[in-house]
Chain A
Amino acid sequence: MKKVVLDDKAIDRALARIAHEIIERNKGTEKLVILGIPTRGYHLALRLQNKIEEIEGVHLPTGAVDATLYRDDLGIKKDQPSLKKMDIPISIDGKKIIMVDDVLFTGRTIRAAMNALMDFGRPLAIQLAVLVDRGHRELPIKADYVGKNIPTSMKEGVKVHLFETDGINEVVVEPAQEAKQG
């Protein structure tokens, strides 16, 4: 029993708003670097890069930060999670990093991604943009930019489908299956 909470147009509007908020909060685009958390966070990062370019005419350096090797649940799960892409296009020293992910849940992925980033340099600041915040934080992590707040129960799961990876743009809420990382 799945419910579509954001459709194609809603996602697009949310991203457009986030792009504007990023530019507003940072008073421009100086020193900004966008790093998405693969897989879908990376595609959202690329979309944000496009939107910001449309608005400000600036092409921001964009890449991916894979948090897998920094997760706190390795060895507890049965399989080793597959490693994803790590692509830090320029030095992050003194830069403002906009981390992008699809769903913010327990906060553990973001914690791991931040630890990964710190091994690459010393950013000036890290801000977090997520398409969906579904609550149930287990760590003191908060998003700076949120597409939509979707309160959920632990019995539910939130799935973001993107055209680039799943052939369709939608956000659905459905009964939960796997153990969480979030």
Chain B
Amino acid sequence: MRLKRKDLLGIEELERDEIELLLSTAESFKEVSEREIKKVPTLRGRTIINLFYEASTRTRTSFEIAAKRMSADAINISVSTSSVVKGETLRDTAKNLEAMRPDCIVVRHSSSGTPRMLSRYLACPVVNAGDGAHEHPSQALLDLLTVKEKLGSTDGIKISIIGDITHSRVARSNIYGFTKMGAEVTVAGPPTMLPPGIEKLGCRATTSMEEAIRGADVLMMLRIQSERQAEPLFPSVREYSRLYGLDEAKLRAAKKDVLILHPGPINRGVEISPDIADGPYSLILDQVTNGVAVRMAIFYLLLGGVKEGLQEGVKA
């Protein structure tokens, strides 16, 4: 079995059976991280480059640990300037990287679409570690794994994603992921943070926090991203927190054993109160553990394929 594609650029194009393959493979890899010798020789001698244009310690570290636990060599390249400042086209960037013969390139960028644009010039697999407001597939996969572990299955469950949906790649990937896996997704936030046509992705949208929480099996709180907003999307953090922050009072409307997810890092007291973040229903730390396993599974399934089948569509 294998993934039906060379790259992992998003959840939108994945079929349900590919998602299930990724999740079941990730489950097997969890065990490796519990051993004393946290390494398997499977990708020994392969080179995996983490090309991060956007600062991110946790995601990059997670990919790095995943690569190393597979015995691959992980190289981190932090790019502080984009192509336009360097005067280098994407084709140049890709060809230069390719000259180092990597086996896989993991890309995070603040401009949506950049991993896809790079993948057209690269023969090796490209993994999207987050592009602008577009997709963050490994995050959605680890969220799915976390929920599946706790609830047994994702079919028929109700999940609400709350926060700045407009700027959130985590939201988009999770909308695709959870709907493909049979869940009912609702997104919620102030009108300024709900993009036009979001329902067309397969979810419900509401500005009512109460409606989003009522009856939900899982609540996913998104981080308020001050670094990504130029315009004022809400008058103050205080008002946002009052309306859309998750606290004990609002939580009372939820199901008794509702699960809480957050992609991290948490703004304590803004989108989620500290006691809920640290409380018994918070799966935030499980998400981190599952993140490494999911990324190991991604590497395992992408790097296994035969060379000749993968080079269609690569530009000169």
Contacts and interface: CB of A to CB of B under 8 A. Distances in A.
Direct contact of A and B (CB under 8 A): yes
Interface of A: 66, 69-70, 74-80, 82-84, 86, 115-116, 119-121
A80 B41 contact: no
A119 B40 CA distance: 8
Contacts of B1: 79-80, 82
A34 to B, nearest CB: 19
B201 to A, nearest CB: 30
A86 B35 CA distance: 11
A43 B238 CA distance: 61
Nearest to B306: A78
Given A78-B2, A78-B305, A83 B29 contact: yes
Interface string B24-37: 11001101100111
Contact of A119 (B28, B35, B303): B35
A78 B301 CA distance: 11
Interface string B1-39: 110000000000000000000001100110110011101
A91 B309 CA distance: 43
A69 B306 CA distance: 17
A86 B24 CA distance: 14
A11 B70 CA distance: 38
B52 interface: no
Closest 6 CB pairs of A and B: A83-B28, A80-B304, A69-B40, A119-B37, A69-B42, A79-B2
B178 interface: no
Contacts of B176: none
A74 B37 contact: no
Given A78-B2, A78-B305, A83 B25 contact: yes
Contacts of A115: 41
Contacts of B24: 82
* Range of interface residues on B (Cβ < 8 Å): 20 to 34
A141 to B, nearest CB: 18
Nearest to A91: B36
A28 to B, nearest CB: 29
Contacts of B39: 119
A83 to B, nearest CB: 4
Nearest to B42: A69
B62 to A, nearest CB: 19
Interface string B272-316: 000000000000000000000000000011011110010000000
Given A82-B1, A119-B37, A75 B304 contact: yes
Contacts of B301: 80
Nearest to B1: A79
A80 B2 contact: yes
Contacts of A75: 303-304
7 contacts: A69-B32, A70-B40, A82-B1, A115-B41, A116-B40, A120-B36, A120-B37
Contact of A70 (B42, B303, B309): B42
A166 B24 CA distance: 23
Contacts of B306: 76-78
Nearest to B305: A78
B26 to A, nearest CB: 10
- Kindly name the residue among A77, A79, A83 whose own CB sees the greatest number of chain B CB atoms within 10 A: A83
